[in-house]
Amino acid sequence: MHAPASILPLHIDGLSFEAGGALLLDNVSATLRPGLRTVILGPNGAGKSLLLRLCHGLLAPTGGALRWGAFCNGDEERVRRRQAMVFQRPVLLRRSALANITYALALRGVRPRARRVAEARAALERLGLAPLAERPARVLSGGEQQRLALARAWALSPDVLFLDEPTANLDPAASRAVEAAVEAIHAAGTKIVMTTHDLGQARRLADEILFLCGGRLLEQTPAATFFHAPRTPEAAAFLRGELVG
Ligand SMILES: Nc1ncnc2c1ncn2[C@@H]1O[C@H](COP(=O)(O)OP(=O)(O)OP(=O)(O)O)[C@@H](O)[C@H]1O
Ligand SMILES: [Mg+2]
């Protein structure tokens, strides 16, 4: 049996988002291809989270459009099911760590229950959370909750995973654990699209950089080029740690 074709690439065509009379995203165009780890950088308020939320379908653009791969025309359900998002503060259910994952698998139609439990336990194992399987998710530490959110996203084997500052509240060891999980999810074939304010992390993880400033996409550049020789003065100033935007 053939694996179903990926929903990628994602074509972002002139995407805009206006609210309260302000143009918060201004005519953003880019193509997000499978395989590359894409890191979105930019100063506070640049529109990074907005762009992720629009791509994930949590918000509707006020201008422009998103087009998913060639085989997705009109198949919104498939597009929705083949992507996942992890937020800075994980959104978890008042259930055990294990049940947070089995529930997500049930929503995706994985049957029977024994298969859901086996897949959820495997996902917890991959993130070193097996001993915490029966613990209520809400009592886990911040780093454990973030790893649980990643385990849940990974269990769904999405074509694309959006991550909005997944390590912003974590200590260095927990951040590295999350980075290792992101690497493993990437190696398993999921496209990574993430934001971070940690430039060291961006250097370690990124294949390409999208640089946003003031709601505009100023660069889509291979990571090595971006850090070595950014094309725009705004990006150069941002990398020097100066206030821009
Ligand atoms: N739903 C909304 N309605 C109105 N304004 C919004 C909405 N969402 C975001 N904004 C505004 O849009 C701008 C961009 O916000 P966004 O959260 O995308 O920034 P960001 O690049 O993620 O910044 P940070 O680095 O601080 O996370 C901000 O000025 C924010 O106040
Ligand atoms: Mg943000």
Is residue 110 situated within a structural domain?
A: yes
Is residue 244 situated within a structural domain?
A: no
With residue 107 as reference, give the H or E element that holds it: helix 97-107
Is residue 165 situated within a structural domain?
A: no
Is residue 185 situated within a structural domain?
A: no
Degrees to nearest 5, angle at CA 159 with 158 and 165: 75
DSSP string covering 115-169 = HHHHHHHHHHHHTT-GGGTTSBGGGS-HHHHHHHHHHHHHHT--SEEEEESTTTT
Q: How far is CA 17 from CA 60, 64, 166, 235, 239, in A?
A: 8, 9, 24, 22, 26
Q: For residue 1, what pLDDT is reported?
A: 42
Pocket probe mutation, ligand 1, options 17, 49, 195, 217, max atoms within 8 Å of Cβ = 49
Q: For residue 4, what pLDDT is reported?
A: 66
Kindly give the distance from the C-alpha atom of residue 118 to the centroid of ligand 1, in angstroms, as a whole number.
39
Instruction: Order across the sheet with 160-164: list the strands.
Output: 83-86, 160-164, 191-195, 38-41, 208-213, 216-222
Is residue 117 situated within a structural domain?
A: yes
- Find the ligand nearest to 212 CA: 1
Report the domain count for the chain.
Answer: 1
Is residue 120 situated within a structural domain?
A: yes
Kindly give the distance from the C-alpha atom of residue 37 to the centroid of ligand 2, in angstroms, as a whole number.
18
Ligand 1 atom nearest 24 alpha carbon: 12
Instruction: Order across the sheet with 10-19: list the strands.
Output: 22-32, 10-19, 63-68
Could you list which residues have their CB under 5 Å from ion ligand 2?
A: 48-49
Axis-axis angle for helices 142-155, 172-187 (nearest 10): 0
Is residue 123 situated within a structural domain?
A: yes
Average pLDDT, consecutive stretches of 10 residues, N- to C-terminus, the chain (245 residues): 76 97 98 97 98 97 93 81 93 97 96 98 95 98 94 96 94 92 95 97 98 98 97 97 88
Kindly give the distance from the C-alpha atom of residue 219 to the centroid of ligand 2, in angstroms, as a whole number.
18
Kindly give the distance from the C-alpha atom of residue 45 to the centroid of ligand 2, in angstroms, as a whole number.
7
Is residue 194 situated within a structural domain?
A: no
| Lining residues, ligand 1, CB within 6 Å | 19-20, 24, 42, 44-50
Question: In terms of residue numbers, what domain contains 98?
Answer: 92-157
Query: What is the spatial distance between Cα 146 and Cα 110, in angstroms, rounded to a whole number?
Result: 23
Whether the link from the prior residue into 112 is cis, omega within 30° of 0, is: yes
Q: For residue 26, what pLDDT is reported?
A: 98
